[in-house]
Amino acid sequence: MNYFVEGIQGAGKSTLVSRLAKHFPRYRVFREGDYNPVELAWCAYLTETQYEEVLARYESLRGEIVANTHTEGDRKIVTYTRIITDVPGFHKDLEQYEIYNDRLGRAEFEEIILGRYARWDGDNSIFECSIFQNIVENQILFYEMNDEEIVDFFLRLKAVLAGRDFRILYLEADDIAGSLQIIRKERVDQSGAEMWFPLMAGFLEGSPHGVRHGLKGFEGLVKHLEHRKVLEKRILREVFPEQAVILKSKQYDLNAALDSL
């Protein structure tokens, strides 16, 4: 069996992943930013030429870059956010090689995602944010796909996963605004200044979808996430009815949920 943990920001995904990892100590856990067989969030996706250019630009980090590099065919995947450094501009530079945020055309993006899922041959794995969050955010905010187009993509993804044993554990947050307020207070620097929310708001406001629909600040983020939650629950209902397990955010009994599967 494999478990995909999903839900909007602040629903408690990281906590659930940790609880599952404790419950299944022999399972492999894939968190955001890890080298992941199915998803590429927070990873640079480079050609051989681009990779050599990065190594040349950051000679002082060569050892760490190589240690965080994985080869897939003619591509190099670098888990660059795992590299702790004060070298100016390194993380911003490597960010440009991610596959998200309209850095690739829609067809190429979908081909990469579907291809990785098709090649995935592991089992007994726990995935954080690997089937919905980053993919759906990219589809809504940057490709401006409508709900029907996104559901169609996941129908194709399900066809690729035919025969695989997995469950999608979806944490449903009833009070989205309240959940966001909590993580705003939690994700601050040592002086108490907010770190997460300004980045998230800027990300939303600067996206084509955010600009087109005038989504701004806290209210805009709540509106966007309310739409995303409705869409993701529709995908669970229409595409993954046999694999979906919906849990009330921070109010679930994990043992009971697992016993019911």
pLDDT in tens, 75-100: 999 999 999 999 999 999 999 999 99
State phi, psi for 38 to the nearest 5 degrees.
-120, -20
Band the pLDDT of 145: cuts 50, 70, 90.
very high
- Mind listing the pLDDT tens digit for each residue in 196-229? 999 999 999 999 999 999 999 999 999 999 999 9
| pLDDT mean across residues, the chain | 95
* CA separation, residue 2 to residues 24, 163, 166, 185, 231 (Å): 11, 12, 4, 33, 23
Instruction: State mean pLDDT over 192-196.
Output: 90
- Mind listing the pLDDT tens digit for each residue in 11-34? 999 999 999 999 999 999 999 999
Band the pLDDT of 255: cuts 50, 70, 90.
confident
- pLDDT recorded at residue 200: 93
Asked if the 2-38+104-259 domain carries CATH number 3.40.309.10, the reply is no
Say how far apart CA 54 and CA 72 lie, in whole Å. Answer: 17
Structure token pair of residue 99:
């596959």
Pick from 114, 117, 193: nearest CA to 152: 114
Instruction: State mean pLDDT over 40-59.
Output: 97
User: Do residues 32 and 128 touch, judged by C-beta distance below 8 A?
Assistant: yes
* DSSP sequence for 236-257: HHHT-TTTEEEEETT---HHHH
Structure token pair of residue 101:
């945020």
Say how far apart CA 172 and CA 174 lie, in whole Å. Answer: 6
- pLDDT recorded at residue 160: 97
Pick from 139, 160, 133: nearest CA to 151: 139
Q: Count of CB atoms within 10 A of residue 202's CB?
A: 11
- 104-128 CB burial, b ≥16 within 10 A, e <16: bebeebbebbbebbeebeeeebbbb
Say how far apart CA 149 and CA 259 lie, in whole Å. Answer: 35
Q: Say yes or no to pLDDT of 243 above 90.
A: yes
Q: Which residue has the tokens 């590429």?
A: 40
DSSP H helices, 9-167, are 13-23, 48-57, 62-67, 90-95, 106-119, 133-141, 147-160
What strands lie across the sheet with 75-78, from one edge to the other? 44-47, 75-78, 69-72
Spans of all domains in the chain: 2-38+104-259, 43-97
Instruction: State mean pLDDT over 227-250.
Output: 96
Burial label for 157, CB within 10 Å (0-12, 13-18, 19+), is buried
- Mind listing the pLDDT tens digit for each residue in 98-135? 999 999 999 999 999 999 999 998 899 999 999 999 99
